[in-house]
Amino acid sequence: MFSTLAPILLQATGETLYMVAAALALGTSMGLPLGVLLATSGRGELFEALWFQRIFGPIVNATRSVPFIILAVAIIPFTRFVVGTSIGTSAAIVPLTVAAIPFIARIIEGAIREVDSGLIEAAQAMGARPVQVVTKVLLPEALPGIIHGLTLTAVTLIGYSAMVGAVGAGGLGDLGIRYGYQRFRPDVMAAVVITLIVVVQAVQSSGDWMARKADKRNI
Amino acid sequence: MIRLSNVQKTYPARRGSDEHTALRGIDLDIAAGEIVGVIGRSGAGKSTLIRCINLLETPTSGSVIVDGTDVTKLSNRDLPLFRRQLGMVFQHFNLLSSRTVYDNIALPLELAGASKAEIAAAVDPLLPLVGLEEKRDRYPAELSGGQKQRVGIARALSSSPKVLLCDEVTSALDPETTRQILNLLKDINKRLGLTMVVITHEMAVVKALCDRVAVMDGGVIVEEGLVDGIFANPVHDTTKSLLADEFVEFRAGQDSAQSRDQSSGQEG
């Protein structure tokens, strides 16, 4: 039995990791600048732009208030436009990324706002330009918080990736639903659940380890 | 070196707070190589005053001339270049927790685009100057308050500034460490001929460090002169009460010095 289960379990795990890694990378590439700007565009801040807050604050909140399964279905036309199809592992990356961007943006914003404003003042007194304040001070000082936040995002995305299984995306969630639930195979269900637990543990532990390495505040 | 003429600073009214005037026409001349103290109680406007010199605060009106340039007229592009000529040291050190001692001191040079070799040439001699050779690769979390402030001072000096702005630099330190930091600043002033502006609420700091002092109250300078003269013959009530505080602190300092002797002196 194990010999027949192992290959499909392995393949499903690979699909899940692929979807999550791609969505995390794409989500960070867009969520990071968005989060930095949300944290620095307030009144009297580095890149004061109140219009930016007024436009993107509500958009971020709106995206975050839609349950993921609804979001995944609602943006199917957009997914089809981007990938050419709405079915399959690559197509699932689109809704996962769309959900990850505002999540990551808020996490980055929060981590940056935690940085002592005295450091911004000190950097400006040294002659730092606004972009340098971000790259040389805010991001390095916020790094432990950002790593914690991205770990949280990865774990959340693993959960979401099980849901996109419902719209034909493959991965561990899909395997659990189709084999474990619809074909009454409790052994498959158990294997899927255990694999998910192991993957989440591994992600969380390595995230914690990296955050600890980056944190020089308590040595 | 620095000339403030009729500098005013008014913070506009915001939700929850009325319009607030921090500076009401400040005139102050600071000669090159001089150490000038600005003393006053909390809310007197001294922190705003020092921030008007490097434009961390923009004066509402008046002019700030540094080394012949009216810096209030500088564009946003030129402002960082001007600020690199001034070093600033802070009450709460404001060191980057993610950088080692060396990298903290190197930061102003990094921001100015200096090469690794230029940075090493500037930072290496600063470490012995502030007595931190052995802490070179440590992080701020591993240092005592006095050591952190030494890093702060070295960082302010690394871009070879003409002026050092000191904002309550000893207020977070114990009396013994305060004495060491003041000696260090005095030594730096002598060796490098740096102009210094020192903000404080303690007369003891003025006495130990400054050539001249300006006493602030309610956003104006109420009394100004050579330190010896002000101490010998204070005129304004604020000056008198600040001097009276120092007498109390002096006695408290003696008491704690005695108790420290008894408990076989711990390093701060």
Chain B residues near residue A126 by CB distance under 8 angstroms: 83-84, 88, 107-108, 111, 155, 159
User: Which of B253-261's residues contact partners 24+ apart within 8 Å by CB, and which partners?
Assistant: B253/B175, B256/B175, B257/B175, B260/B176
Task: Please report which confidence band the pLDDT of residue B264 belongs to, taking 50, 70 and 90 as the band edges.
Answer: very low
Could you tell me the two tokens for B40? Answer: 């006053």
Q: Is the pLDDT of residue B265 over 70?
A: no
Could you tell me the two tokens for A195? Answer: 């694999």
Amino acid, res. A165: G
Chain A and chain B share a number of CB contacts under 8 A equal to 69
Q: What is the pLDDT of residue A178?
A: 85
Task: Please report which confidence band the pLDDT of residue B267 belongs to, taking 50, 70 and 90 as the band edges.
Answer: very low
- Are A140 and B111 a contacting pair at CB < 8 A? no
Chain B residues near residue A122 by CB distance under 8 angstroms: 88, 90, 94
Minimal Cβ distance to A118: which of B94, B98, B108? B94
Q: What is the pLDDT of residue B255?
A: 53
Pick from B50, B77, B85, B97 the residue to mutate for testing the A interface (most A CBs within 10 Å): B97
Q: Is the pLDDT of residue B35 over 70?
A: yes
The H-assigned helical ranges of chain A are 2-40, 50-65, 68-74, 76-83, 89-113, 117-125, 130-132, 139-164, 172-175, 186-214
Whole-model pTM: value is 0.88
Task: Please report which confidence band the pLDDT of residue B263 belongs to, taking 50, 70 and 90 as the band edges.
Answer: very low
Could you tell me the two tokens for A41? Answer: 């565009």
Residues 6+ apart with CB under 8 A from A15: A89, A169, A170, A171, A172, A174
Q: What is the pLDDT of residue B17?
A: 80
Q: What is the mean pLDDT of residues B72-83?
A: 93
Distances (CA, A) of A77 to A63, A82, A87, A91: 17, 9, 11, 11
Q: Is the pLDDT of residue B30 over 60?
A: yes
Q: Is the pLDDT of residue B261 over 90?
A: no
Q: Is the pLDDT of residue A134 over 50?
A: yes
More confident residue, A29 or B172: A29
**Is B88 touching A (CB cutoff 8 A)?**
yes
What is d(CA B268, CA B265) in angstroms, rounded to the nearest whole number? 9
**Of the candidates B79, B84, B70, which has an alpha carbon nearest to the alpha carbon of residue B61?**
B70
Question: What's the per-residue H, E or C state across A1-21?
Answer: CHHHHHHHHHHHHHHHHHHHH
- Are A118 and B92 a contacting pair at CB < 8 A? yes
Q: How far is B241 from chain A (nearest CA, A)?
A: 31
Beta bridge partners of residue B164, listed in sequence order: B87, B196
- CA B188 to chain CA centroid, Å, is 13
Q: Is the pLDDT of residue A137 over 90?
A: yes
Tell me: the pLDDT tens digits for A78-133? 999 999 888 888 899 999 999 999 999 999 999 999 999 999 999 999 999 999 99
- Judged by average pLDDT, the poorest of A27-36, A167-176, B64-73 is A167-176
The H-assigned helical ranges of chain B are 46-53, 79-83, 101-111, 116-129, 145-157, 175-192, 203-209, 227-232, 237-262
Q: Is the pLDDT of residue A44 over 80?
A: yes
Q: What is the pLDDT of residue B266?
A: 40
- Are B80 and A129 a contacting pair at CB < 8 A? yes
Residue A1: Cβ within 10 Å count:
8
**Domains of chain B as residue ranges with CATH:** 2-85+163-259 (3.40.50.300), 96-160 (no CATH)
Task: Please report which confidence band the pLDDT of residue B252 belongs to, taking 50, 70 and 90 as the band edges.
Answer: low
- Are B98 and A219 a contacting pair at CB < 8 A? no
- Are A136 and B84 a contacting pair at CB < 8 A? no
Q: What angle do CA B261, B264, B266 make, to 5 degrees?
A: 100
- Are A127 and B97 a contacting pair at CB < 8 A? no
Residue of chain B with shortest Cα separation from A214? B98
Task: Please report which confidence band the pLDDT of residue A168 belongs to, taking 50, 70 and 90 as the band edges.
Answer: confident
- CA A122 to chain CA centroid, Å, is 32
Q: What is the pLDDT of residue B262?
A: 46
Chain A residues near residue B97 by CB distance under 8 angstroms: 141, 216-217
Minimal Cβ distance to A128: which of B82, B98, B111? B111
What is d(CA B190, CA B34) in angstroms, rounded to the nearest whole number? 10
Minimal Cβ distance to B141: which of A124, A127, A217? A217
What is d(CA A103, CA A30) in angstroms, rounded to the nearest whole number? 11
Q: What is the mean pLDDT of residues A23-27?
A: 97
Q: Mean of the per-residue pLDDT values for chain B?
A: 89
Token look-up 């992600």 returns A203
Tell me: the pLDDT tens digits for B203-222? 899 999 999 999 999 999 99
Q: Is the pLDDT of residue B260 over 60?
A: no
Q: Using beta carbons and an 8 Å cutoff, which residues of A are at the interface with B?
A: 116, 118-119, 121-129, 132, 136-137, 140-141, 143, 214, 216-219
Dmax over Cα atoms in chain B, in whole Å? 58
Task: Please report which confidence band the pLDDT of residue A166 belongs to, taking 50, 70 and 90 as the band edges.
Answer: low
- Judged by average pLDDT, the poorest of B5-19, B59-73, B120-134, B204-218 is B5-19
Residue B238: Cβ within 10 Å count:
19
Q: How far is A201 from chain B (nearest CA, A)?
A: 27
- Are A126 and B90 a contacting pair at CB < 8 A? no
Q: What is the pLDDT of residue A112?
A: 97
Task: Please report which confidence band the pLDDT of residue B254 belongs to, taking 50, 70 and 90 as the band edges.
Answer: low
Pick from B91, B107, B164, B166 the residue to mutate for testing the A interface (most A CBs within 10 Å): B107
Q: What angle do CA A119, B121, A138 make, to 5 degrees?
A: 20
Tell me: the pLDDT tens digits for B80-133? 999 999 999 999 999 999 999 999 999 999 999 999 999 999 999 999 999 999
Q: What is the pLDDT of residue A67?
A: 93
**Is B82 touching A (CB cutoff 8 A)?**
yes
Q: What is the pLDDT of residue B268?
A: 36
**Is B108 touching A (CB cutoff 8 A)?**
yes
Amino acid, res. A97: T
What is d(CA B127, CA B137) in angstroms, rounded to the nearest whole number? 11
Q: What is the pLDDT of residue A5?
A: 84
Minimal Cβ distance to B110: which of A122, A124, A136? A136
CB B141 within 8 A of CB B235: no
